[in-house]
Amino acid sequence: MDLQATVTGFPNATPLDGLDRAWRWSLVPVLNFAGALTSDGTRLLQMNQRGKHDPELAAAVLAFAREHEKELIVEGRLLTSVAGFGVPGYTFDSVAAVVPEVHGHHKVQHPDLTPLTYIVFPGYACEFSGRETLPEAEARYHKMLPTAEIERGPLPFLKMRFDNPRTGGGSTNPERALTYPEVLLNELPELEDTPEAFVEYENHEGKVWRVQWSDGAWAVTGDSELRATGFEELRRFVEGTLC
């Protein structure tokens, strides 16, 4: 496949200012795309933007991705990230890449392009573990992370399991599963006065904590420990372990 010919044939395709062998195109006003060839010209690094569109940010992301493509395109890794990215006006600190098996872009109109395309996007280091399974990578990319929204804040990688006999709430399987920080934070106050209940969670670094109610306070054990007499103290500690 002639990658350059394919990309320049997209609707409204024009060169992307500030980066060689890179282009921008759009299908509808709210969906904008930018892409750059890898250093050897055999793959396409593509960034999607929905809503607000910033071609300068796209150029910066693609340039960073090309510079770090050996770290982002790694055999056996489904969702990778490299820290050290930064652009004035944005709080992103990383660039991530998603493999074709996860993103599935172009499979309808350009199926031959799908296996050559890596979707890249700006993100936050705390959003990626580097250990994501295929279902987890698919969930993070397609359902949890709004990767095409450039004004978003961080959504930390978080896996959790819990059980609370008092409320009847609990995990449906014995393993920790992906969830949102607000789910974790909403369950923590429910532990009060229920010593037999617990919440166990894991962050992007693979560090694990267990929270229980013990002798009139929240007790946190794991990679680091805390005994919190007030919920706000507990909240600050937990949020600090996530991002």
pLDDT tens digits, 20-70: 999 999 988 899 999 999 999 999 999 999 999 999 999 999 999 999 999
pLDDT interval class at 108 (50, 70, 90): confident
Domain ranges of the chain: 3-144, 159-242
For the chain, the first-to-last Cα distance in angstroms comes to 41
pLDDT interval class at 149 (50, 70, 90): very high
Q: 48 phi and psi, to 5 degrees?
A: -105, 140
The two beta strands, 22-28 and 79-83, are unpaired
Q: Are 131 and 206 in contact (CB under 8 A)?
A: yes
Q: Is the dihedral of CA 115, 98, 57, 37 positive or negative?
A: negative
Percentage with pLDDT > 90 across the chain = 90
CA distance 95 to 130: 13
pLDDT of residue 186: 97
pLDDT interval class at 173 (50, 70, 90): confident
Average pLDDT over residues 192-215: 97
CA distance 226 to 234: 8
SS (H, E, C) 38-101: CCCCCCEEEEEEECCCCHHHHHHHHHHHHHCHHHHCCCCCCEEEEECCCCCCCCCCEEEEECHH
pLDDT of residue 196: 95
Average pLDDT over residues 155-168: 96
